[in-house]
Every structure is written in structure tokens, then in C-alpha cells.
Amino acid sequence: MESNISLQGSKSSAIEINKVLKNTYMLLSMTLAFSAVTAAISMAMNLPRGAALIMTLVAFGLMFVVNKKADSASGIFWIFAFTGLMGASLGPMLSHYASIPGGPAMIMQALGGTALIFFALSGYALTSKKDFSFMGGFLMVGLIVAVVAMIANMFFQIPALSLAISAAIIMVMSGLILFDTSRIIHGGETNYIRATISLYLSVYNIFVHLLSMLGILGSDD
């Protein structure tokens, strides 16, 4: 009797996890597509870097709203507002790369590289079903160090340091994809809106810093 109850419990748990996974990947694909649309609109409007900074700051504030509203129906609206602003804030940077020799190819390489990293890591986490929760502390420390280095490099403007920072952030975000996917698989994250925003930020940052790396390496040619 107890074994039957345990089996039914594990089955219902597996169904719930699969539901969270399905909803997360569906919402993630929709928010990424929406970000691409708002980025294209931002490019078409030729928005200045100042506007991009303002949108990034507003989006940062909305991130807290998304987490607060994640358990309600309005959470869907807020996550689209957040990802829409994040996409639009990319407009000036993408316009810059699109205007330089070889820039459009760099953008496509960054997109392809980001997709390859995400699908490879997500696929590994899903198929191996390993628990990557042990990485949480290391990833947090790595992220803090990278942010401090980014702030310092705003004053020094050293290309080699920029390259190292971008590489470090890509590594940290790759680790977060494993960490966040593992949390969903093992029941640590049951809210697909919160799961989506975590994965979205990892994908977003990998793309931005992969493009930055390609830009720095391309300028050395």
C-alpha cells in the first residue's frame, strides 16, 4: 500500500516537473522572440545609447516586479514587459555592430554561438539528470568578481581585461544554465515564470558578451 502511494507520488511529481519544463521552454522561446522584435524596432528607430541605458535600468526594476508577481496571472505581462525592454536596450549596440565591416557576420556568429551553448548545456542537464546545485556558491562569487571587474574597467578601458571579463561572464552564465535547469529537474524551482527569467538572463548575457568578445578580437585583425 505504502509503495503504491510512493509510486503515485513520484509519478505526479514527474508530471509536475515536466509541466514546469514545458512551460518554461515555451515562455523562454516566446520572450526571446519578443526581445528580437523590440531590438529590431529599437534599431529601426535609431535609439541613442542613453535611451538604452534608461531602458536597462527600468528593466532592472521590472525584474523585481516579475519575481513578485510570478505566482499570479499578471506575471506573464510583466515578464514580457521586462524582456521587451531588455531587447530594445540592445538596439544601439546592434546598430553599432551592423554598421561596421564584418559586423553583421559577428552578430550572426554570436547568435549561433549562444544557441549552441544553450542547447548543449540544457541538453546535457536534461539527459544526465545530474544535480548541479553544488555550483550555486561558486557561480555567485564568480558573478560578483566579474561585476566588480566590469565597474573597474569602466575607468581603465583595457581591451584585454574586457576580453577576460566577457569570457568569465560567459562561463558563469553557462554554469547558471546548468544550475537553473538542474533546479527545475530536481524540483527546486516549480514556478515557470521565475525559471524563465533566470534562463533568459543567462542567454541574454551570453549573447551580449560573446558579441563583445568577437568585436574585440575582430578589432585586433
Per-residue pLDDT of 50-85, as tens digits, reads 999 999 999 999 999 999 999 998 999 999 999 999
In angstroms, the CA 57 to CA 88 distance is 12
The half-sphere exposure of 22 on its side-chain side, counting CA atoms within 13 A, is: 6
**Which residue segment(s) compose the domain that 123 sits in?**
2-219
Residues ≥6 apart with Cβ < 8 Å to 183: 133, 189, 195
User: What is the pTM (predicted TM-score) of this model?
Assistant: 0.91
What is the domain count for the chain? 1
Per-residue pLDDT of 105-129, as tens digits, reads 999 999 999 999 999 999 999 999 8
